[in-house]
Structure formats: structure tokens, C-alpha cells
Chain A
Amino acid sequence: MQNNRLGLAFISPWLAGFLLFTAFPFVASIWLSFCRYDIVSPPIWVGLANYDELLRNDPRFWKALSNTLWYAVAAVPLGIVTAFALALLLNLEVRGMSVYRTVFFLPSIVPAVASTMVFMWILNPQIGLVNGILSQFGVTGPAWLNDSRWAMRSLILMSLWGVGGSVIIYLAGLKDIPVSLYEAAVVDGAGPWDRTRHVTIPMMTPVIFFNLIMGIIGAFQYFTQAFIMTNGGPEDSTLFYALYLFYRAWKYLDMGYASAMAWVLFLIVTVVTAVVFRTHRTWVHYGG
């Protein structure tokens, strides 16, 4: 008991911060989602009006939701495949491997805002690096972030810039696979592809599963890059859910509406995560 009290005392700054800045706003937002609230005046109870408005009368809500889903469906699998492939390459026994690993990890520690600013230049349709390279092959590159057909694709491609963090997790997972399994596979006559297909991938499924869940949650909260680079445009093509929520809350001072949006998002993320969890028994293998 004495120890517990001492422990609680030590974590009390965190506890106080958590209760005040996370738990309280979390609970308060449930109530606020049923209110009209503009920060300055006291909240006014409006019942389900915010939810009703959101689901029935707001085409931008659906646009933001579909944009976010489209991003999640494209960027998450792409991120997983790329990170996994990189991890496999970085797991080879090659001279100077630690340098390669560092190189691939480095982008993920660059602050998002800084790398976003750099990408604005890289993707510049006229003087950008990407279109410069494409023009060497006689290809006129698209207008990327300035074109509503390409803006979302640009952001999806850009998301690969930060796969370094996942690569490290995959690498740790790869190191955990018992060598005996590979030895047994070799004895059975398995080639490199068979070993990857029947040993590495099944053994890595818990790690892939973890990255999938984190990726889905991250994709639904996508904000910074769109906020800085496109502001939701052109033509709402990069209006993400979190961005629209932010605008509703802070630009239009509609905190109640934004709270309702936040809870709808919470529900969606919970359902999607639960569905993915449901499927995991069929494809995630634990143990040797």
C-alpha cells in the first residue's frame, strides 16, 4: 500500500495532466456533441441536431469522409508493403548495412512540417525535382498538388517518406524469427522465395497486424500535410476528416458540431479496428 502511494505520488504530474487535458476533454466532448458551443458562450443543448445535420445535410462531411477512407485504403497497404520490402532488404548481411538502415530511418525523424515544406518544392509542377526528372524522359509531369486529380495521389506517395519507423519494427520482428525454421526449410529444399513466403511472412504477421492497426488509426487522423500543403484543396480533393473537423471547430467556431464529428470518427475507427481484429485469427500467426 505504502509502495502504491509512493508510486502514485511519482506519477501524479502525469495523472493530473491526463485527467485534466485528456480524460476531461474526452468526456466533455460527448456532452458538447449534443450542444451548440462556440467556446465563448455557454453550451446550449440541441439534442441530436449536430449529428442530424452532419449525416443528412452536410455534403462536405461525406466528401471529407470519403477522401479519408480513400487515403486509408491506398496509403496503409502501400506503406506496409513498402516498409516490409525495405525491412527485408535491410535485413541482408551486406557491408555497411548500418549506414543503409540509418539512411532509411532518418526521414521519419525529420519533423513533419519541415519535410512537408520540402515536398512542396519537390512536387512543384514547373521547377520541382520530380517533374524535372520526368522531363528528362520526355514526360510532362502532372501539376501534383495543384491538380485535383493528383493532389490525393501526391499525398499518398508522400506518406512513404515516413515509413522508416515501421521498417525498424519489421526489422526487429525479422530478427526474432528463429533461425531453426529457416534451417528446417532449407533441409526441406525451400528456396529464398519459399522461405519468405512460408516462413518469414507468416512469422511476421503479428508485426504486420500491429502496423496495420496503427496505420489505419493514423490514416483517419491525417492532418498536418494537408493543412500545410493544400488546405483541403484543390476543389476539396484533399479535405480530410480531421482537417474539416479542425475548420469547423476553430475557423467556424462550431465546437459542438466538431465534437459530433470527432465522435463519429471515433466510432468509425473503433468499428474498422474491431473488424480488422476479427479477421486476425485467420491470418495472424503467433508462436513458432
Chain B
Amino acid sequence: MNARVESAPQAAPLRRAVIVLLNLLLAGTFILIFALPSPRQRAYSERIPVRFWHMWSGEWKDVVDRIAARFNESQDKYEVIALSVPGGSADYKFLLAVAGGDPPDCMAQWNQVVPAWADEGMLVPLDSLMTPEEWESFQSTAYPVALKIGSYKGHLYGVTTGINIWACYYRPDHLREAGLDPDKFPTDLDEMWDWGLKLKCAGPDGSITRMGFLPGWYAQYAPVFGGGFYDSQTGQVTINTPANLRALTWLAGKQKELGFDKVVRFQAMLNTGGFSTQWPFISGQYSITVDGQWRVEQLAKFAPDLEYRTAPIPPPKGGRAHAGWSNGNFMIIPKGAREVAGAWEFIKFWSGVENPERAAEFYTWGGWLPLSRRIAQAPIYQDYLKKYPQFRTFLDVLPSENIQVTPPVPFQVFLWDMVGRADDFAMRGTKTPKQALEDLEREMQQEIAKRKRFGL
């Protein structure tokens, strides 16, 4: 007891010293954090910064960084600072940045945002940055689908830097094995379905081990049957139309024929971790499949020895050739951006509005479909097509007027979710295709009525 009393006066200064030291350490750490230079050093600090957000990562981010570097090398006024924002939260971040009054100067998007954001007045109409001659030239040279992707109510809000087109990929080795001639690929959808049945393989328990051809994804097939979800003449959403019903009935019928449970189990078995190398077409689990043009580049990288060919989705009788659904990557400039002029410079540079021959190279880096014919005709792009002949199918489909995009209405995301839901109900057999479309029509009318009531 005595010892503790005696030692107390000695311990107090020591404790105080330790506390002071710890506090100093803490303060020092804080100062260091703020004093240390940012890990991202600007290469051209004397130039005007153009803050550019995108959602690419991994191999794609490298491509974007290279394009930004090329832009920075090309001129002496602006410096594009590219920032990869995680895709899952990029839209929220963008919205909050706009609401907070500090948005990026431009952003590369692929989500369905143009109608909703343009309707809110959040985007700069890019045609307002062009002279009348430039705008006219843009409209006449850009592919129709590029205009559809970026436009809303007669104005251009997004310039595409890559368009996605879907077509058939098929494996000649499987075809030969099944006694089918790869040189005579079907030109009719029903014929392709018959081929699919011949190519299908099943295990001893009846489960599907190889899918010949699996039709699915209503939004992609509705235009093939001559349908679609938007009438550009009237500006109205179209749902319960004979062509749309025909498409859904066909798809649901085929699903039923294969056996819904069997299809679910087959799809669950596939390596669909999202990695390019795990695409079931590579492992031979699909003989014919409908996918996007980016697979050409990936196949060259991850399965260079795989023999495959591509063909447009064949229409059914009375359907439309070179039809389908499309989306793409496009550049937007938010209202409130500090460097609109710099952002526009960068967009012109990348998309090829300014110099199609130069931009053609960027499109080949990402395996992207170009904005205009002039880019496609550039020698460097033609070389790319020679290198990857399978890519030409997608370029052939690209100019088609039958390619549709998600309806450009402000409730686009809601509409698309509901279309997907109707698809799900019909394909699982819970609702008849007719019932699914009638319900979808009613839900959409309710939403439109609600928007009217809210004064939108």
C-alpha cells in the first residue's frame, strides 16, 4: 500500500508524457495524411483539367487510359483525368455529384440513363455544342442506332463510342458432328430452332448437357418478329401488339418444348461467373448462341484456336432481317460541369466526330462498333476486320433500321424491368404470353397515369 502511494508522484509525469506523445503521434499522422502529395500526379498540371468518369475496370480500363493519354498528348490546352468509378454505384455517385453541384466534366455511360436524366435537365444537349453544319453532318453520318441510343426528344445527349450488336455465334465442329453444313447456316429462325434440337445433347438422366440453341430474352427477339416497345412516330410505348405477342408466344413455346426445369438446371450448371474465359460457348456447352460483338475480341484472346463463325439472327417468316435490340457506350456532359468545352473536345476526339481516321484505332482497341460509316471505312478499321472476319457480321447488321433500343421514355428503367418481368412470367409458364402482355400493358398504363397525376 505504502509502495503504491510513494510511486504515484513518479508515475504521473510518465503517464502524462506518454499521453502527450500519443497525441503528438496522432496529430502528426493527420498532418502527414493531408500534407502528402496525392498518389495521382498530374502529368500536365499547367493545363485545364477535364474530369472524366467511366465504369470500366481491368483490361478495359487500360484501353480507356490509353485513349485519355492519347488525347492529352494530342493538344496543349486540356488534360483529361480519367477516373474509374465502380459500376454498381456509378449512377448514384453521378446523381449525388450533380445534386451537390460538383459533377465530373464528362462521363462514359452504358446504363439506361439518357431519357430520365435529360428529362430532369441534368444533361447538356450535345447538339447545342455543334454548329448547324456539324449537327447536320453528324446526323447524316452516324449510324441510325447511334442516334437512337443518344437522343431524347430531338436532342442529342450522348455520343456513342461503342455500339453493341447481338448476333449468332456457332461452332462448325458441332454442326459437322450433327451432320449439318456450316456453310448453309439457317436464314429462318424456325430452321435454326430445328438445328438446335439436332445439336442438343442430353445425359443419361435426361438432363441437357449441350444446348443446341436456346432462344430467350424477349427484348432481343421482339424486333426480330417485327415488334418492339416503342413507336417513334407517335412517341408512345407499344406493348400488347400482335407482333410482340407472336414473339413471346414463340419464345415461351420453345421454352416449354425444351422443358423449363431442364433449361433452368442447364443454365445453373454453366460457368457464368462473369469472366470472359468462362463463356459456355468456349467450353462447348452451346453450339449456337446469340451474343455481342465483344466476344470476338475475347475469343481471340482466350480461345485463339476455337473454330467459330457468326451470322445475323435469322428472322422467322414475316419477321424482320437484321433486327434486334442494341445498346452502347456513350459520353454525356452533365449540367454544371466546369469544363464543358474541354469535355466536348475529348468526346469529339474519342468518338471520331472530329477525326474519324484517328478515332478508328481506339475502336479497334476495345473491339467496339463505330459511330459512323466513315470510321468503319478507315484503313485501320478495315485491317481489324481482316484480322477478325467474324466481326464483319456485326458491322453488317449495324446500319439496319430494324435495330431498336430501349424506349426513350423517362420511365425507361421501370419499363424495362417490367418487360423483363413479363418475360419471366411467360417463360416459366406462370402466365400465358397473352396474359403476361395484358398485365404489362395495364401496369404501364398505370405508371403513365401516375406520372400524369404527379405532373410529369
Of the residues B269, B424, B450, contact of A124 by C-beta under 8 Å: B269
B181 interface residue, CB < 8 Å from A? Answer: no
Of the residues B265, B411, B428, contact of A148 by C-beta under 8 Å: B428
Closest to B122 in A: A40
Interface 0/1 of B330-364, CB less than 8 Å to A: 00000000000000000000000000000000000
Q: How far is the CA of A36 from the CA of B269 in the complex (A)?
A: 44
A108 interface residue, CB < 8 Å from B? Answer: no
Interface 0/1 of B109-132, CB less than 8 Å to A: 000000010001110000000000
B interface secondary structure, majority = helix
Q: Which of A188-196, A229-237, A279-287 participates in binding chain B?
A: A229-237
Q: Please give the number of chain A residues whose Cβ is less than 8 angstroms from any Cβ of chain B in the complex.
A: 28
Known contacts A38-B120, A234-B424; decide if A148 and B430 are in contact (CB<8 Å). yes
Closest to B420 in A: A233
Q: Which of B91-99, B139-147, B160-168, B216-224 participates in binding chain A?
A: B91-99
B185 interface residue, CB < 8 Å from A? Answer: no
Q: How far is the CA of A250 from the CA of B111 in the complex (A)?
A: 13
A53 / chain B contacts, CB cutoff of 8 Å? 450
- Which B282-316 residues sit within 8 Å CB-CB of chain A? none
Known contacts A40-B95, A127-B268; decide if A233 and B424 are in contact (CB<8 Å). yes
- Is the beta-carbon distance between B98 and A40 smaller than 8 angstroms? yes
- Is the beta-carbon distance between B122 and A126 smaller than 8 angstroms? no
Distance of B334 from chain A, by nearest CB (Å): 10
Closest to B95 in A: A39
Distance of A246 from chain B, by nearest CB (Å): 11
- Which B141-192 residues sit within 8 Å CB-CB of chain A? none
B411 / chain A contacts, CB cutoff of 8 Å? 252
- Is the beta-carbon distance between A126 and B266 smaller than 8 angstroms? yes
Known contacts A57-B446, A126-B207; decide if A49 and B264 are in contact (CB<8 Å). no
B428 / chain A contacts, CB cutoff of 8 Å? 148, 234-235
Of the residues A46, A147, A250, A252, contact of B92 by C-beta under 8 Å: A250
- Is the beta-carbon distance between B96 and A39 smaller than 8 angstroms? yes
A148 / chain B contacts, CB cutoff of 8 Å? 428, 430
- Is the beta-carbon distance between A40 and B120 smaller than 8 angstroms? yes
- Which A29-53 residues sit within 8 Å CB-CB of chain B? 36, 38-41, 44, 46, 49, 53
- Which A232-283 residues sit within 8 Å CB-CB of chain B? 233-236, 247, 250-253
Q: Please give the number of chain B residues whose Cβ is less than 8 angstroms from any Cβ of chain A in the complex.
A: 33
Q: How far is the CA of A36 from the CA of B410 in the complex (A)?
A: 15
A125 / chain B contacts, CB cutoff of 8 Å? 264-265, 268
A174 interface residue, CB < 8 Å from B? Answer: no
B135 interface residue, CB < 8 Å from A? Answer: no
- Which A74-129 residues sit within 8 Å CB-CB of chain B? 124-128
- Is the beta-carbon distance between A36 and B261 smaller than 8 angstroms? no
Distance of B56 from chain A, by nearest CB (Å): 22
- Is the beta-carbon distance between B269 and A127 smaller than 8 angstroms? yes
- Which A5-59 residues sit within 8 Å CB-CB of chain B? 36, 38-41, 44, 46, 49, 53, 57
- Is the beta-carbon distance between A46 and B454 smaller than 8 angstroms? yes
Count of inter-chain pairs, beta carbons less than 8 A: 64
- Is the beta-carbon distance between A126 and B268 smaller than 8 angstroms? yes
- Is the beta-carbon distance between B268 and A146 smaller than 8 angstroms? yes
Q: How far is the CA of A143 from the CA of B264 in the complex (A)?
A: 7
- Which B431-456 residues sit within 8 Å CB-CB of chain A? 446, 450, 453-456
- Is the beta-carbon distance between B269 and A126 smaller than 8 angstroms? yes
Closest to A127 in B: B269
B42 / chain A contacts, CB cutoff of 8 Å? none
A253 / chain B contacts, CB cutoff of 8 Å? 95, 116
Distance of A237 from chain B, by nearest CB (Å): 10
B77 interface residue, CB < 8 Å from A? Answer: no
Q: How far is the CA of A23 from the CA of B261 in the complex (A)?
A: 49
B116 / chain A contacts, CB cutoff of 8 Å? 253
Of the residues B98, B264, B417, B454, contact of A36 by C-beta under 8 Å: B454
Of the residues B120, B421, B446, contact of A41 by C-beta under 8 Å: B120
- Which B76-100 residues sit within 8 Å CB-CB of chain A? 91-92, 95-96, 98-99
- Is the beta-carbon distance between B95 and A49 smaller than 8 angstroms? no
Distance of A143 from chain B, by nearest CB (Å): 5
B365 interface residue, CB < 8 Å from A? Answer: no
A49 / chain B contacts, CB cutoff of 8 Å? 453-454
- Is the beta-carbon distance between B424 and A147 smaller than 8 angstroms? no
Q: How far is the CA of A127 from the CA of B268 in the complex (A)?
A: 8
A127 / chain B contacts, CB cutoff of 8 Å? 268-269
Known contacts A40-B99, A41-B120, A253-B116; decide if A126 and B413 are in contact (CB<8 Å). no
A233 / chain B contacts, CB cutoff of 8 Å? 424
Known contacts A46-B454, A53-B450; decide if A143 and B261 are in contact (CB<8 Å). yes
B44 interface residue, CB < 8 Å from A? Answer: no
Distance of A284 from chain B, by nearest CB (Å): 43
Closest to A250 in B: B92
Closest to B91 in A: A250
Distance of A17 from chain B, by nearest CB (Å): 18
Interface 0/1 of A147-172, CB less than 8 Å to B: 11000000000000000000000000
- Is the beta-carbon distance between B265 and A143 smaller than 8 angstroms? yes
Q: How far is the CA of A14 from the CA of B121 in the complex (A)?
A: 37
Q: How far is the CA of A36 from the CA of B264 in the complex (A)?
A: 40
Name the residue in A36, A125, A128 with the highest tally of chain B Cβ atoms < 10 Å from its Cβ.
A125
Q: How far is the CA of A148 from the CA of B120 in the complex (A)?
A: 37
Q: How far is the CA of A234 from the CA of B207 in the complex (A)?
A: 21
Distance of B226 from chain A, by nearest CB (Å): 28
B384 / chain A contacts, CB cutoff of 8 Å? none
Q: How far is the CA of A143 from the CA of B269 in the complex (A)?
A: 11
Interface 0/1 of A122-142, CB less than 8 Å to B: 001111100000000000000
Interface 0/1 of A217-236, CB less than 8 Å to B: 00000000000000001111
Of the residues A44, A57, A235, A251, contact of B424 by C-beta under 8 Å: A235
Closest to B425 in A: A235
Closest to A145 in B: B268
B414 interface residue, CB < 8 Å from A? Answer: yes
B417 / chain A contacts, CB cutoff of 8 Å? 247, 251
* Extra contacts besides A41-B121, A234-B428 (10): CB < 8 Å: A40-B98, A46-B454, A57-B450, A125-B264, A126-B269, A146-B264, A146-B267, A147-B264, A235-B424, A252-B414
The 4 tightest CB contacts between A and B, nearest first, are A126-B269, A146-B264, A126-B265, A125-B268
**Interface residues in chain A, defined as those with a beta carbon under 8 Å from any beta carbon in chain B:** 36, 38-41, 44, 46, 49, 53, 57, 124-128, 143, 146-148, 233-236, 247, 250-253
A-B contact pairs, 7 of them (CB 8 A): A40-B99, A46-B454, A49-B454, A126-B265, A143-B265, A147-B264, A148-B428
